[in-house]
Amino acid sequence: MKLSVKNLDIETGGMPVVIINIKDAKKYDLHLEDRVLIAYKNRKLEAMIDIALHDRLIRPGQIGCFEEVSQVLTARNRQLVTIHIDEKPSSVKFIRKKLDGEGLSKKEIQQIVHDITHDKLSSVELAYFVAACYSRTMTEQETILLTQAMVDSGEVLKLHRYPILDKHCIGGVAANRTSMIVVPIIAAAGLTCPKTSSRSITSPAGTADTMEVLANVKVDLKTMKKIVEKIGACIIWGGALNLAPADDKIIRVERSLNIDAESQLIASIMAKKISVSSTHILIDIPVGVGAKVETMTEALNLKHGFQMIGERLKREITVLITDGSEPIGNGIGPILEARDVLWLLLRDPRAPKDLERKSIIIAGRLLEMAGISYGEEKARNLLLSGQAFNKMKEICIAQGLKTLDPEQLKPAKFTYQIKAKKSGTIKLISNKHISKIARVAGAPEHPGAGIYLLKHKGDKVKKNDSLCTLYSGSKEKLKYAVELLSEFFPFVIH
């Protein structure tokens, strides 16, 4: 069949999609999310069908091409393209197999990951794969195969060094910017730490968002390698690289479904670490109400999973189970967090002590994994002496320095004091509620928006004492955030 092109100038951000009129769909027996092969001259592309129920956007005889299709075909409006009905990819059959509770082979897992990477699966099909791995837990062997397939789906940073250190936090704790302290400590010790970090998805800031306040975080793999070989470390946004690309697409679906399949979580983290050639990896698992991992049983299961896969993949793994019952640090939001980090590295008395303690513990353990005795003492000395700050300066300059002056980092101008509703002791600060309020206030889109904590768990307070300051770039967003306090008040006081 032949249809006339109408370029829509809209991106789907995923699999190539075309729209046909419902009359043509009935005529050719095509259904929503069927696949078609579109040919124009010597160019071909597989795309998924969407259906227009009315003639206003796409008339009979037309085919609406989203940007991903238009760029490949290069057909102009009203030019004719040939359409052939295409089969579903073989990986759909393998996903159904997993849903039925059967195991998957190396070849089947590789095909699924290949089709995810190349946008050959619909959002529904990908969601079924995520759900299948959640309800039909992957075996140890399947988890290893999934990890390797994710690594093989993208590029790998090849460094001729040993050891290569790395760390990862499971997440769910607001702020917790230990990476921006740990990485320069490790590099100041003369060791290698190529750190890729994520942007915020549901939090007020990811490490990449906070680091971006100080320096550029978007670099390609070639530039990343040059920086690491020269400086010994980097702190960059992993999304700008083609490292384990299938993982990012799986994570987006997990976020939408609000589930974390343990096997996929382990494979996801390990794939990212292996793709930068890490040999010694520390995993931080915060546990607490409102954190990503809420019980010690979950934490111990994850710990076992990481240690198992580390042993099988010949990586040294250390797992720390830490307190996730409140945010780590005072600032929550890109600028507020970056200011905390600089105060800490510069030995300013305003630096948060809890962030310092946790960073030294993590850095110390990593140094010991690399064979350095008295790791925490060494980490503390590198921090106190200013060597860690000097290394952070080198990293920022190599990536494209913006500022290392905390006094230049100004929070958003509209503020509100969140006050204690009664006297007592703070028993809990909900990470989930803190994050929700900070995001409604505008973080991380407005880098100066967020929350600055004035009190922490265990502090005694009186009624109407200020617990934290809420910052926003607009009066309207601040108003919405304040309204949420009646439903999501983050402080539990007894």
Rounded Cα gap, residues 368 and 360, in angstroms: 12
Closest to 138 measured CA to CA, from 153, 149, 124, 151: 149
CB atoms within 10 A of CB 160: 6
Written as one letter, the residue type at 309 is: I
Contact yes or no for 404/393 (Cβ under 8 A): yes
* Structure letter (DSSP) for residue 192: B
Task: Sort residue 465 into left (φ over 0), alpha (ψ -120 to 50) or beta.
Answer: beta
Rounded Cα gap, residues 463 and 419, in angstroms: 8
CB atoms within 10 A of CB 278: 25
Contact yes or no for 139/253 (Cβ under 8 A): no
Q: Beta strands 331-332 and 450-453: pairing type?
A: antiparallel
Burial class (CB in 10 A: 0-12, 13-18, 19+), 18: buried
Contact yes or no for 215/400 (Cβ under 8 A): yes
Helices (H), 118-168: 123-135, 140-152
Catalytically active residues are 260
